[in-house]
Amino acid sequence: MTNRRRTGLKNLYRNEFLRSPAWFARRDRWFRTCTNDGTVACAACGVVTAKAGLELHHRDYQGVRIVQGTWQAWEDDEDLVPLHPSCHELLHRLIDRDVVLAQHRTRRDASDHALRMLQLKLEHVEAAS
């Protein structure tokens, strides 16, 4: 098991699912369900941002499926975490570079732990500025 991001053309999740109508519909549904006005705070840095400025990180991939050749997005709302693109990249770097998070934790546990680490790091940066 690995939580590291895969690279190359064989990564169907990044190259197909995240570009699929199923994902865009699921993303829109998350923002309608989980926000009042389409804005929400980034889970890492806390800055409130509109939908267009946020990505949703998957804590778990169980809801991502291919059924009869078509992508399906059945993620639970709590399995999706709003993040700025730069915060999302930092979260993945923490997971990718930490051996324990990358290989010895469930995806959900690795994501939650890395998010807590990132929140603490960003608090210290903000406090210093």
Instruction: Summarize pLDDT for 49-82 with one digit per residue, the tens.
Output: 999 999 999 999 999 999 999 999 999 999 999 9
Amino acid sitting at position 71: W
Q: Does 1 map to a domain?
A: no
Q: What's residue 3's pLDDT?
A: 63
- How many folded domains does the chain comprise? 1
Within 8 A by CB and 6+ apart from 50, the residues are 38, 39
Q: CA 32, 50, 19: angle at the middle one, nearest 5? A: 70
Q: Note the Cα 95 to chain centre separation in Å.
A: 12
Q: Does 50 map to a domain?
A: yes
Q: What's residue 25's pLDDT?
A: 97
Q: Does 121 map to a domain?
A: yes
At residue 9 the predicted structure's pLDDT band, cuts being 50, 70 and 90, is very low
Q: Does 5 map to a domain?
A: no
Domain that holds residue 110: 12-128
Q: What's residue 8's pLDDT?
A: 52
pLDDT at 10 over 60: no
